[in-house]
Each structure stands twice: as C-alpha cells, then as structure tokens.
Amino acid sequence: MCRARPSWQRGPCIGLLGLVACCTVSSASAGLDETAEQSQLRYGAPLHQGADLFQAQTVLAGAVTRTYRHHQWWIRAAFVAGKTARMTYAKADGQGNPAIQPDELQALLASEAGAGQWRAQAAVDWSGRRLATFPLQRQTFLNTNGRQARLEIGHTVVVIETAGAARAEARALDQQRQAKTQRGYSEACAAPQPAALQAR
C-alpha cells in the first residue's frame, strides 16, 4: 500500500491511475543502506552490464554498481562498504512518457526518507539570489537525516543518496588522481633515455 507522505508534499495520489503509480514506485524503492543481498531480494537478480547508455553512466566513482529492472523502472545501486550509498531511478523503455511525474517523485522520496523529512531546495546563484524557474529544470531535496535527492534536468532520472555518498566519491576520485600521477611518474622513470643523455 502507499506510504504516508511528508507534510511538505502537495496533493495525494488522485484516482486509480495515481494510486497504481504511487504503489508501484514505492515497491521499487526504499533501497538505501541495504546490502547486495537485500537489494536482490527486493529487485531480483542484477542485470549484466551492457552497452545501454543508462547502464554505462557512472553512478558513484569507485563504487561497485549493480543494475536492476523492477516493474517499469531501471534501478542502479552503487555500493560503498557493502551497502547502497547512491541510487538512480529511470523509467524503462516502452513505458510511455519517460518524464518522472510529481506523484512518482513524491512516492520515491517518501520511501527513501528514512527517519527524516525532505525539504525542497530553491535554485540560487552564487550570491544566494533565487534563480528563475523553467520547465523540467533540476530539482534538489535535502533530508533532515543528511540524505540528498535530485530530479535531474529533463526529469527522466532521480538520484537519491546517503549522507556519506559524496564524501566516499571524493575520496575515490582523489585516490584515482593519486594513482594516475604515480603511474605517470613510474612510466616516465622507466622510459628509455635518449642516446645523448646515456652518453654523458
């Protein structure tokens, strides 16, 4: 059944179609901080990595990522220290309008709220001035428990992550940069020297 929604969310699911949409999304989510085994019980076996553009996109740098097809959704889960730290949701092909509707977004946020509450964040510039809105622009949400969510530009992908996901990604990217620098230094040292230098 549909879960109760936080008070900030506007409007209930209306009619049978709205009810079906909310309940289908709710059954597909609530996967943050779960192990791979728990995710498989929830979504079924993960799919093999393919050439699909959605699968090819990096979810979280340095993390093990698994892709699931559950009901009408593609779900990608990035695991840090054995638990899901960031998840993306997108509608599968052939499911009509690929844009995620407001009631579907609300259901995703409600199911991933944990013990906290979501607050929508206004778009502002560097000075803190509120920016003008436009259709299908990115929407960002912060949770009182530290989780973050965003509906990407175009409204076809929802990203929801734990409080530690960004820190884990920053560490992974820093390690990748250090490894690349070290590899470049090692290759430079191992490269054969020009004959003029060897003769000195």
**Torsional class of 163: left (φ above 0), alpha (ψ -120 to 50), beta (otherwise):** alpha
CA distance 82 to 37: 10
Local confidence band at 21 (pLDDT 50, 70, 90 cut-offs):
very low
CA distance 78 to 62: 9
Q: What is the pLDDT of residues 55-88, one digit of tens each?
A: 556 789 888 899 999 988 999 999 999 999 999 9
**Which three-class secondary structure state does DSSP give residue 179?**
helix
Closest CA to 5 of 168, 195, 141: 141
CA distance 112 to 102: 15
**pLDDT confidence of residue 153:** 83
